Chains A and B, each alone.
Chain A
Amino acid sequence: MSAAVTVRDLRKAYREVEAVAGVSFAVERGEVFGLLGPNGAGKTTTLECLLGLRTPDAGVLELGGVDLRRHPSAARRKIGAVLQSTLLPERITVREAVRLFAALYPDPVPPAELMERFGLAAVAGTRFEGLSGGERQRLALALAFAGRPEVLVLDEPTAGLDPVVRAGLHEEIRRARADGCAVVLSTHYLEEAEALCDRLAILVRGRILAEGAPRALLTAVEERHRLDLEASGPVPEAWSHEIAALERGRCTGNRLLAYTRRPAEAVAELARRLRAAELEVVALSVRQVSLEEAFLRLTDAGAAAGEDAP
């Protein structure tokens, strides 16, 4: 049985700029797949190609085995989408919008049921221009679900929303996954990706730099622990490179910040040197790097930020 979403060697260039340079991934039914990357990484272009909004220069795009480029209408029947900025006509009411989009699909969810499910029944007669940001996003999600999609494509769906509304949308995405829907999600919120996604791909300059489960991605980062020491007096600068277990260490006054692959060895060596130097430990923390740190480490942005970090 083919995957719900198959993207193979996708390429798209705007003049000389190669926005997507050979991206491949597959998403199974009941799986949430996240695309992460800095601005301009090619996330939105990838999703727009997947939605048929842009014509790729090369590559294969399949939805449930249906070639999107050859059979766009058949493929689109399987898709529900929330774009980065979905706006509807100002004067259309919620009821009309839901009715309109439901009518576009062969076997739609009844409009009343959609409005009830997404908490829109109370604003059914309200025009789009009168909806709050959260209501608009709930409406966008309701429209995405109108055609009972097999694949849900969400381009930064929670950007700019308050935490309560965001939590509600997360619940709907989990529910879609539980119903067997394949979800492709792009987001800037790393905690969102970590909480929602079964798998992640980190996209940089149009290429997938790393792909896997959020936890697995962390293991891709060699320096998996971050060490932060605050002593009672100045920490000698030499320690940051003399201690073999420390990497990319930096001493600033009484503090030492470093990454390490051997935390126990690093802490033992530091303790020995502190005793010898008659320094007390004011604070010491050793923790696994977060997804955000892993993301920054893997991307160019991370490299730039790393110059400021230890």
Chain B
Amino acid sequence: MKAWWVQVDVALRLHFRNRMALFYGYLFPLIFLVAFWVLYRHESVPLLRHIGELLTVSVLGGACFGLPTTLVGERERGVWRRYRLSPLPLWAMLAAAVAARGVLLFSAGALQWGVAVLAGMTAPEHPWALMIAFLAVCFAFIGLGLLIAQLANNVPAVQALGQCVFLPMLIIGGVAVKLASLPEWAQHVSAFFPGRYAVEAIQGAVTGEGFAEIGFPLAALGGMGVAAGLAAAGLFPCDTPQKVEWRRRTLWLVPVLAGWLAVGAWAERAGRALVPPIGVVIEPAAAAPAAPVLPEPPWARITAADIAGLNYQVPPDRGVVAPFAGDQEEPDEYTAQELETVRRALYSWRPAFEGDDIQRVRNLLYVAAVPDSVQLPVERHLPPLVLRYLTDMYPEDKLVRILTYIALHPEEGGVIVNLGDLGLEAAVGDPWTVRERAYFYAIKFVARLTGRPAG
């Protein structure tokens, strides 16, 4: 056991002497964090809704690049051949390397979390669930990293194989791009990648229902980790892979692919592959129950102080988040046609005739919010159209109160994530982002109606 601890100790010391390893292990994830903060700094709780993606990127990089690069680099130098001459079994040596990597991943995750807290992020809803989720993510990706280490002949091959795993997971695997923004085929594909379940597990623990919500992702990560670990173990006795026949190597990929296919098939069968389908109104979460029925509507209790107390520090009109076209900005011909289509469709759009005034206004805010969340070219011209529609529909005082109520209760009510009914085919956002953008537009509308500066 002492030998094992010495191995872990030396592995950690060597890691901290390697500047490139420190860069990729610690600085690179922080760069991602800063990029996400720049993009989403206006959210009510900065980074909280993206920490799943951020931590997943950290683990993915450390486990699928860092671990195999170290192992293969040492193997190329003959270090593992030398280790094999000792009485300590090779699996114990490998376990020490994996344990050291686990320590590094946890420290990188803790650093990332700490910086996010400094940027204003709050504590997770379910800390124990988060720990287990993070452990499961490490397990799954370390299994994958070991497999890469066994398949790669040299360090450049590690980079190539790592990219084959890393990039698809980032782009169509739900890690860096929200699944709701992806086409259906990509959502189906993502069900077969562990990255999606990593984000779901961590995010479910941080902002969701904890263990009640992350059972499936945890099981998926466990299954995928076991499959990759088994394959890596099968290849492991060959510490000189260039002499391993290719057929033998590819055969050991079968359990991995079988594991991934099984998880994907399971997700498909359980109806989990797609995010909420087109046009569905998502009911509010149990944690945010619908407002109780009162003798007078909730918006009627909004006071001037409530209106004045709104946080008008919202993203600027000319920015990427919640843009708002100025009076002098003319849309191009195509955009103008699109706007006209939406304007006409609104008169027969059912959500615009919702019985409850608050939900009706909320639904109309989504007409501006959804295109903004997926950055359609028409996004900056829709808010003025919606505001005109609303001012035609309601007296100004009532509208200001309703909008203020919505801004003060952004989690309430249903959310519309797809505007296909309005002729905006590509406008499918994710619920969180859409709610956030609706919140920004509610404040911007109030600011315009009351003559306050915003942004």
Residues of A at under 8 Å CB distance from B? 51-53, 73-74, 76-77, 79, 81, 83, 85-92, 96, 99-101, 103-106, 143, 147
Contacts and interface: CB of A to CB of B under 8 A. Distances in A.
Contacts of A96: 10, 13
Nearest to B13: A96
A79 B85 contact: yes
A151 B81 CA distance: 18
Given A91-B17, A91-B18, A96-B13, A52 B85 contact: yes
A73 B87 contact: yes
Interface string B77-93: 11101101111110000
A89 B77 contact: yes
Given A91-B17, A104-B3, A73 B89 contact: yes
A89 B79 contact: yes
A89 B82 CA distance: 11
Given A52-B85, A76-B85, A87 B77 contact: yes
Contacts of A99: 6, 10
A86 B82 contact: yes
A47 to B, nearest CB: 11
Given A91-B14, A91-B17, A92-B14, A104 B81 contact: no
B74 A89 contact: yes
A76 B86 contact: yes
Contacts of A86: 78, 82
Contacts of B82: 83, 86-88, 143
B269 to A, nearest CB: 43
A87 B14 CA distance: 15
A128 to B, nearest CB: 10
Nearest to B5: A103
Contacts of B79: 87-89
Nearest to A86: B82
B85 A53 contact: yes
Contacts of A81: 85
13 contacts: A53-B81, A76-B87, A77-B87, A86-B78, A87-B82, A88-B77, A89-B77, A92-B14, A100-B6, A103-B3, A103-B6, A103-B7, A104-B3
Contact of A53 (B2, B10, B84, B87): B84
Contacts of A104: 3, 86-88
Given A92-B14, A96-B13, A100-B7, A87 B78 contact: yes
Contacts of B74: 89
B85 A100 contact: no
Interface of B is mostly: helix
Question: Counting chain A CB atoms within 10 Å of each CB, which of B2, B3, B10, B86 scores highest?
Answer: B86
B104 to A, nearest CB: 15
The 10 closest A-B pairs by CB, nearest first: A104-B86, A87-B77, A103-B6, A103-B3, A91-B17, A76-B87, A77-B87, A73-B87, A104-B3, A87-B78
Nearest to B77: A87
A83 B86 CA distance: 13
Interface string B4-38: 00110010011001100000000000000000000
Given A87-B82, A101-B86, A103-B6, 13 more contacts: A53-B81, A53-B85, A73-B87, A74-B87, A85-B78, A86-B82, A87-B79, A90-B77, A104-B3, A104-B86, A104-B88, A143-B82, A147-B86
A76 B79 CA distance: 17
A224 to B, nearest CB: 41
A92 B155 CA distance: 19
Question: Counting chain B CB atoms within 10 Å of each CB, which of A99, A103, A143 scores highest?
Answer: A103
Contact of B87 (A87, A88, A90, A147): A147
Nearest to B245: A15
Contacts of B3: 103-104
Nearest to B237: A55
A109 to B, nearest CB: 14
B207 to A, nearest CB: 41
Nearest to A140: B82
Contacts of B14: 89, 91-92
A291 B265 CA distance: 71
Contact of B10 (A52, A79, A92): A92
Given A99-B6, A100-B7, A105 B78 contact: no
A99 B74 CA distance: 18
A229 B7 CA distance: 65
Contacts of A74: 87
A267 B46 CA distance: 102
A132 B93 CA distance: 28
Given A83-B82, A91-B14, A99-B6, A105 B77 contact: no
A10 B205 CA distance: 58
B398 to A, nearest CB: 70
A83 B78 contact: yes
A77 B82 CA distance: 14
Contacts of B87: 73-74, 76-77, 104-106, 147
Question: Counting chain A CB atoms within 10 Å of each CB, which of B13, B18, B78, B87 scores highest?
Answer: B87
Nearest to B70: A89
Contacts of A143: 82
A73 B88 CA distance: 7
Interface in B357-396: none
Contacts of B85: 51-53, 76, 79, 81, 83
Nearest to B16: A91
A53 to B, nearest CB: 6
Contacts of B77: 87-90
B213 to A, nearest CB: 43
A105 B88 CA distance: 8
A83 B240 CA distance: 15
